[in-house]
Structure 1
Amino acid sequence: MNRIFNLLGKFLSFAGRAARTEYWITFLTVSAVVYAIEFFADYAGVSGDAFLFLFIVTRTVKSMICLPVSVRRLHDVDRSGWWYLVPLATFVFAFFDGTPGPNRFGPSPKYGMRRVGSVSVAPVRSDY
């Protein structure tokens, strides 16, 4: 339940990093909702200008939700958000594991970060 509240808290934020799980949950959920709305509108007989308007609105909302999480996902693999403009870059990098430990965009959402003296270190994972 905390993950859902964390996702909602970072809804439109471009700052920080997003783990693969956060990216895929957001992308697939929003896509499913958008496609369901469009399917039921088509099934209900909405056509012409009304369907075009609905299509534009749903795709705009999808972009507004998915763009920030895509940029944060690129940050997790230590890439600038400008990589989003390269076709398929976000999709390809979505499968890469994020940088372990902190990078220039913040602490790792997967590995976390802890302080040892004045140095930030990533914890050692034992589930490899």
Structure 2
Amino acid sequence: MSNVPLIFQPLVKYVDFQGRARRSEFWLWVLLRIVVGMVMGTVITTVMFSGMNFQHPDPSQFMGRYFTVMPLLQIVNLGLLLPSIAVAVRRLHDTNRSGWWYIMPIVVAIVGVVLFFIFAGTQLFSAIGTGEGTMTDAQGMKLFFTVMGSMFLFVFLPVLVAEIVMLVFYVSDGTPGANRFGPDPKGRGVMETPEVMF
């Protein structure tokens, strides 16, 4: 496995959630995912628009090509999903953090969406619950800005903070020497027996 270039290590450790991954392994994998996405996007766009008559476009031809090539992109994305999660978990392990931190932005997003719908729903029902059935332009604008503000407050801002926290974790140097998840991938210190696997 040591002969495999670092950028392809996550493919070799496809669903390996144990151990640690150094920063270079994680960020080279992120770079590879971006390059693969750009290549796939270029190929799919070329296939979808090649031979199209833009003077008299045929939407059915475009949609037919769309539904032909998009499954290919989704298959590639699904194929790269598990190694992406695994290398992120191992990167967290390198900083002596549990892999469960990986789902923190997802949990924050779900809680934020639930709170947003509760708040926005109450605002909407209170605005139209007057019995008149119509709103003035000023009331409509006030409702719009209230809903958009609550979306920012409950969803976008917490998710942004959660993603910044995860970014700090991912760019942090790993624990020097062995930690509870295994030996230092940089070879610093001596190996200890891992206590926690996820």
* Shorter-chain TM-score range: 0.7 to 0.9
* 2:29 matched residue in structure 1: 26
Residue deviations 1:23-43, cap 9 Å, x none?
011121122113211221111
CA contact (8 A) 1:20 1:73 kept: yes
* Partner residue of 2:92 out of 67, 74, 91: 74
CA distance in 2, matches of 1:11, 1:58: 14
CA contact (8 A) 1:34 1:62 kept: no
CA contact (8 A) 1:71 1:84 kept: yes
Distance 1:38-1:67 versus aligned 2 partners, 3 A rule: same
**5+ residue gaps in structure 1?**
121-128
CA distance in 2, matches of 1:86, 1:61: 23
**5+ residue gaps in structure 2?**
50-64, 106-162, 193-198
Residue deviations 1:15-69, cap 9 Å, x none?
1000000101112112211321122111122742123312321221221221110
Give the 3-state SS of the residue equivalent to 2:40 in structure 1: helix
CA contact (8 A) 1:74 1:90 kept: no
Identity, in percent, stands at 35
CA contact (8 A) 1:34 1:58 kept: no
| Count of equivalent residues | 116
Over the residues paired in the alignment, what is the CA RMSD in angstroms? Answer: 2.4
In terms of fraction of residues, the more helix-rich structure is 2
* Partner residue of 2:72 out of 54, 66, 77: 54
TM-score by length of 2: 0.51
* Partner residue of 1:83 out of 101, 104, 113: 101
Give the 3-state SS of the residue equivalent to 1:114 in structure 2: coil
* Partner residue of 1:103 out of 179, 182, 198: 179
CA distance in 2, matches of 1:12, 1:4: 18
* 1:4 matched residue in structure 2: 5
Give the 3-state SS of the residue equivalent to 2:171 in structure 1: coil
Give the 3-state SS of the residue equivalent to 1:73 in structure 2: helix
Letter in 2 for 1:12: V
TM-score by length of 1: 0.76
In terms of fraction of residues, the more strand-rich structure is 1
